[in-house]
Amino acid sequence: MLYFAHSRFMLKKLPKLCLSSFIFLFRLGIICAQPTGQSLVTAAAHSLVQDVLSRAGSPSALAVSFQNASQMPPDLQEAAQSAIYDDLRKAGVHVVKPESALAELKIVFSEDWQSDVWIAIIQQGPSRQLVMKKVARTERSTAPRSPVLTLRRSSVWQQEEPILDFYLDSHNLVVLEPTEVALYTEESGQWRQRYTLAINHVQVWPRDLRGRLHVNGMQMTVSLPGTLCSGNVSPPSLDCRASDDPWPVEHGQMIAFYSAHRNFFNGILAGPNAGASVIPFFSAATWPSGDQRQWLFSGTDGRTRLYQRDLSVPAAVLGGLGSNLAVIHSGCGSGWQVVGSAPTDSVHPDTLQALEVAGREMQPVSAAVDLAGPVSAMWTSGKNSETVNAVMQSPATGKYEAIVLTVSCN
C-alpha cells in the first residue's frame, strides 16, 4: 500500500490510476460531480446511527434530543435530524419521551477547524458512551455579478501534482508537471492517461517553478528554467537538454529569455523583438492596436509597464495588477483583453478580471472572478489566442486545478 504525502488523510495517488473519478465535462464547464450537502448529511447520519445502535445494544425505545454547537446552517441541521430519525425508524427504534425511554440519546452538532463533528452522547442509567463522527463541510457558493463583458472559467482537470502548463483540444489533454509530461485522451467523456514522459534535468528546479508547454500539431516543446524539451504527442516522445533558449511567451508574437535559477524573464527579448530589452518581468502580453502593437509587462519590481508603438520607453507605469497577466482575443469590446490577476500574495486566493487599455490606463471590462486559491500559472492559449490557460491551487484540497478562461460578449 503506497501513500503519497499530499493529503491529510494520505489519499492514494489516484490521478494516474483511477482517472474515471474525474468526469470531463469541459463543454459544460463542470469538472466532476461533488457530493451535495444533503447526500453527505444522509451518509453521515446513517453511519452515526449504526455506531450508536452498536454501542447501545439496539434499544427498542430511545429519547432523542439535538443541540447545534456549530455554524451548520439551519436547513442542513434539519436535514441531518430528519436523516437520523429516518435511520432510527428503519432500525426499528421507537423515538419516545425521556420518561419511557430505555436510553437517552443527545446529538450535538459540533465542529472543529476543518469539518463538522457530530457527537452522540448515549446515556443508559449511570453509564455514558460517546460516538463521534467527522463530517465534511460543504462549500458555499458566491453571488453572481453583472459585468460589461463576461470572463468565464471552465475547470478542465484537477490533480495532486503541480501543473505548470497544459494543452487542451477536443481529444487531447497534455499536462506539464515538474517531473513529467502526462498525455491524456478522451474516452467516453473521461480523460484517460495514455503516457507519461519523464523530464530529465540536471539542475535543481527553483522555487515557484514555471514552465511553458507549446503543442503544434503532434509536436510539442517544453520550456523550463535552463532546460528545453522537444518531442511528440503522438507517437509519444520527449527529449530534454540543458538550454538557455528563449521561451515562447505568446505564439509567435513574444519570445523572451528566462532566468535559469529564478522565476522570471530576465527582460531580454527575442523573436520579433530581438535586440530589445525591458526590465525583468514575470509575465507579458502583446496585442495589435490598429496597425501598431501594444505591450504590457508585469515587472519583478511590482509595477506593470505599458508600451505603445515600440519598446523604447514605457507609455505608462501602472499599479494595482498582480504578476500574472495574459492577453485574450475575444472579438468583444475592442477585440482584445488582458486577463490580469489581483495583487495578492501568492498564498492567498486570487481574483481574475478582464481589462482593456483606455488611453494609458487599464480599465476593467468584466466583473472580477474570485478563485478559491492563488493562480500559479497563466498563459495565452488557443490557435488565435482566444483562450487563457490558468492553474490554481485549491487551499481546501491542495489540488492543482487547470482552468480555461474565455471572454464572451454580453
Partner 1 sequence: MAGAAQASSRPRYGGTARIVLHDRVSNLDPTAEEDHPAARDRLASLLFETLALVDDQGRLRPGLASSWSLDESKRVWQFHLRLARFHDGSQVTAVDVAASLSRAGIPWKCTPSDRQTVTVEAASPAPHVPETLAMEKFAIVKRQPDGTMLGTGPYKLNEWQPGERALLVENEDHWDGRAYPDAIEVQMGASLRERLLERQLGPYAAAELTLDQLRSLDPASQGVMVSHPADLLVVLFLQADNAVAGKPGKKPVDPRVREALANSLDRATISNALLQRKSAPATGLLPQWLTGYEFLLPNLSDRANARKLAANAGPGAPSAPLALAYDFSDPIAKLVAERIGVDAGQVGITVRAYGDAHVNTKTGQASVTADAVLLRLPLRSLEPAVALAALAGDLGLDPEHSPASLNAARPEELFEVERKMLENFRVIPVAHVSQAVWLNGSTHNWQQLPNGVWGLNQLWVEGARSSVP
Site for partner 1 in 317-356 (CB under 8 A): 319-324, 340-347, 350-351, 353, 355
Q: Interface with partner 1 by CB under 8 A: which range of 56-64, 145-153, 199-207, 248-256?
A: 199-207
Alpha-carbon distance of 25 to 190, in angstroms, equals 8
Q: How many residues bind partner 1 (CB under 8 A)?
A: 71
Q: Does 266 bind partner 1 (CB under 8 A)?
A: yes
- Quick one: 61 or 242, whose CB is closer to partner 1? 242
- Among 19, 60, 48, which residue's Cα sits nearest to residue 129? 48
Handedness of CA 21, 22, 24, 26 (dihedral sign): positive
Q: Does 262 bind partner 1 (CB under 8 A)?
A: yes
Among 80, 374, 385, 405, binds partner 1 (CB under 8 A): 374
Q: Interface with partner 1 by CB under 8 A: which range of 42-50, 74-82, 128-136, 288-296?
A: 128-136
- Quick one: 34 or 344, whose CB is closer to partner 1? 344
Q: Does 171 bind partner 1 (CB under 8 A)?
A: no
We find the least distance from the C-beta atom of residue 39 to partner 1, in angstroms, to be 22
- Quick one: 25 or 372, whose CB is closer to partner 1? 372
Alpha-carbon distance of 323 to 288, in angstroms, equals 22
- Quick one: 49 or 215, whose CB is closer to partner 1? 49
We find the least distance from the C-beta atom of residue 107 to partner 1, in angstroms, to be 13
Distances (CA, A) of 302 to 316, 320, 321, 345: 14, 9, 8, 12
- The CB-based long-range contact list for 171-175 (8 Å cut-off, 24+ gap) reads 172/215, 172/233, 174/213, 174/215, 174/220, 174/233, 175/402
Alpha-carbon distance of 266 to 243, in angstroms, equals 15
Q: How many CB atoms lie within 10 A of CB 128?
A: 11
Q: How many CB atoms lie within 10 A of CB 295?
A: 25
- Quick one: 192 or 303, whose CB is closer to partner 1? 303
Q: Does 4 bind partner 1 (CB under 8 A)?
A: yes
Task: Give the strand pairing for 375-381 and 387-393.
Answer: antiparallel
- Quick one: 109 or 184, whose CB is closer to partner 1? 109
Q: Does 202 bind partner 1 (CB under 8 A)?
A: no
Q: Does 126 bind partner 1 (CB under 8 A)?
A: no
- Quick one: 67 or 408, whose CB is closer to partner 1? 67
Q: How many CB atoms lie within 10 A of CB 203?
A: 12
- Quick one: 30 or 396, whose CB is closer to partner 1? 396
We find the least distance from the C-beta atom of residue 23 to partner 1, in angstroms, to be 24
Q: Does 39 bind partner 1 (CB under 8 A)?
A: no
Q: Interface with partner 1 by CB under 8 A: which range of 140-148, 190-198, 263-271, 400-408?
A: 263-271
**Residue 408 Cα to chain centre, angstroms:** 21
Runs of H (alpha helix) within 295-355: none
Instruction: Kindly report the backbone phi and psi dihedral angles of residue 325, in degrees, each rounded to the nearest multiple of 5, phi listed first.
Output: -145, 150
We find the least distance from the C-beta atom of residue 156 to partner 1, in angstroms, to be 22
Residues 293-322 that bind partner 1 (CB under 8 A): 298, 300-303, 319-322
Q: Interface with partner 1 by CB under 8 A: which range of 31-39, 147-155, 259-267, 326-334?
A: 259-267
Question: What b/e readout covers 97-107, taking b as 16+ CB neighbours within 10 angstroms?
Answer: eeeebbbbbeb
